[in-house]
Amino acid sequence: MALHDPNKPIPISDLNEPDLYLNRELSLLEFHKRVLHQSTRVETPLLERLRFLTISTSILDEFFEVRAAGLKEQISLGLSNTGPDGMGPSETLARCREVILGLVESQYSHLHGILDRELPEQGIVLYRRQNFSKAQAEWADRYFREEVLPVLTPIGLDPAHPFPRILNKSLNFIVALEGKDAFGRKGRYAVVQAPRVLPRVIRMPDEIADVANGFVLLSSLMHRHVEKLFPGMKVTECHQFRATRNSNLWIHEDEVQDFLHALKGELPQRHFGSAVRLEVSMTCPDEMVDYLLDQFELKETDLYRVDGPVNLHRLEEIYDLVDRPDLKYTPFIPGIPSKLAGRGGMFDTLRKTDVFLHHPYQGFGPVLDLLHEAAEDPHVMAIKITIYRTGLDSPITKALIAAARAGKEVTCIVELRARFDEAANIELASRLQEAGAKVVYGVVGFKAHAKMILVVRKEANELKRYVHLGTGNYNVSTAKAYTDFGLMTSDPEIGEDVHSLFQQLTGVSRTGHLKRLIQTPFDLHKWLVEMIHTETENARKGKDAWIVAKMNSLVERGVIHALYRASQAGVRVNLVVRGICCLKPGVPGVSENIHVRSIVGRFLEHHRLFSFAAGGRPQTYCSSADWMPRNFFRRVEIAFPVRGKKQRSRVMEEGIQVMLEDNCAAWEMSAEGSYTLCTPGNATPFEAQEELLKSLCQQYG
């Protein structure tokens, strides 16, 4: 599509042109590139660089398990659905492969630089079997004989021993053999699977390693000693391989009577879904590769040859095994809001004032305190919470169990369909039920993604509600690594809204008009589009008009369409989008007033917030929802207001302004969908997350 003349009005229909929308999957892979780049930044501590490298491989695994798998499903079903960008599943998959080939090559190139040069300079060595000293070889032989060999089960492939079921993402070896065994069977191929019970990274004894931190991979030990698994046979080839499988779960929710049991029955199949990718070592002969492709029913386009371990992500274990604080991010002690410093109980504080939390710069402790106090307080009647990725043994789980056992009315909306956390959530639901809590699994067809806690307490012969609302999950671990906002309040109207939402989720009811909160799948999309339209009209009238927003992903066409219209009218739009962005900024005549940047740093940017000029009376909201079709139309999400000039100013400063000023970890997006890393140039370096650590933490460094 030719670029429009910025001086001419553009017909509304033209804003649906595919050239104005970026492909969702390709945009996601651009985010993968930004994550991988963190492993190359000299400003990033060395072990953190290794961690970012392993993260980049883990999220690429998930891309194949979910996104590529979904595209292959569409192709197999003969579907040719196109997105706003006009690309069908076959073209999208082909384009993704082109990008991924380059991404994988970069991953292993960075890996060799880190493993072969930089880590050894710091006394951290990953020994290869070819380079063992005599003492190391003797130790490796003994370790393999005593710790590995007893749990290995080599499988020779013949009519009586068909190709084994290979677990999703497991480490395996394909072995070529010559000779005949004791039964006169002629060898050809065998498969050796690495047992899941064995560590993938093994520490060498100090006296053997000759360095402070010496390691060897399980794969190296298996490869070195593979002939011991086939005595009397000659091993001519031995190569690693790994298969990635479709990990989507397919359950017709409206056709099952017990969703938990249906999901529990489906989970084991995730490990053995249809293969979508085969990874093999670079040196694996074509004949063996073709054999493996045939066994997994894959094509050449599903093959990825790698110059190193196929399970690269398992190198993350080195990060935890090495005690070198100087090679990791500077530690910090989260701050405590001044309203809570030297306070009494949480209920006394929240009766007087709201408390706004910014994680991880401020601790998650106040949320835990609220639940613990509620569990022990004899005046607390009920606790209600939505659980998405909470964790089995978290302090939150323990507080809820304690409250239920103390006789409180504890209600938990457990979202079983949190991808890759389904098994943990099933176990969590069982534990809560055993303790006496009421457990509900949300609404059929809609994921319960809102983050809400409601505590009902009897005070002076009346019931008072205390609420926590957040942009992130109730997970103590991720609260240390994800940036999120949380509001704690006793505001009666917010409390009434949250009460209505829980009634809606646990019962069968039609919630009336909410006074403070905005909910999906009913209101949020419509409200956002109307707010954008209001800014558009204000700009046309010559009023000051602007929109700023921060989110993980921007995909939904209706919102993008509205933002394009706003830009054309002169509305200034600043977006901070961490991951997927299907909107094209800076297109003349369409989006030259829209600027998009992404922040990738120490913490995962996770909070969602948006603010509008609103004719001189700014409105700011935080939310659990991204601007994606699934969040707007297939999930239960909430947006909650940031009230008061002081609070709003703080949220805008900490959540948006510092991101817009970042000239070290920010990436500017182009109209083509590529990103350029900002550099300070002659300006003073300013990194948003670093500045927030300094300003909000109790102690940093």
In 3D, which of 651, 591, 580 has the Cα closest to residue 622?
651
Closest to 608 in 3D by CA, of 649, 640, 643: 640
Residue 449 bears catalytic tag:
yes
CA dist 428 and 406 (Å) reads 19
How does strand 234-245 pair with strand 172-178?
A: antiparallel
- Active-site annotation holder among 313, 449, 595, 607: 449
Q: How far is CA 28 from CA 35, 56, 68, in A?
A: 11, 12, 12
- The DSSP line for 43-58 is TS-HHHHHHHHHHHHH
- Other CB atoms within 10 A of residue 515 CB: 12
Q: How many residues does the chain have?
A: 701
CB-based contact 315:54 (threshold 8 Å) = yes
Distance, CA of 559 to CA of 674 (rounded, Å): 21
- Residue 49's alpha-carbon distances to 41, 128, 310, 315, in angstroms, are 8, 21, 19, 12
Per the CB < 8 A criterion, the answer to whether 245 and 229 are in contact is no
For tokens 């359950």, name the residue: 251
User: How many whole angstroms separate alpha carbon 51 and alpha carbon 316?
Assistant: 6
Give the other-Cβ count within 10 Å of 145's Cβ: 12
Distance between terminal CA atoms of the chain? 52
Going by their DSSP bridges, the two strands 332-333 and 355-359 should be labelled as unpaired
Residue 489 φ/ψ, nearest 5 degrees: -155, 160
- At 547, give phi and psi (nearest 5°): -140, 130
- Please tell me the distance from the alpha carbon of residue 171 to that of residue 169, in angstroms, as a whole number: 7
With H, G, I as helix, E, B as strand and everything else as coil, classify residue 673: coil
Name the token pair of 582.
């299907």
Provide the sign of the torsion angle of the four alpha carbons 470, 472, 478, 482, taken in this order.
Answer: negative
Q: Which of 271, 280, 285 is nearest to 309 (CA)?
A: 280
Block residue for tokens 């047992």 = 195
Residues identified as active-site: 449
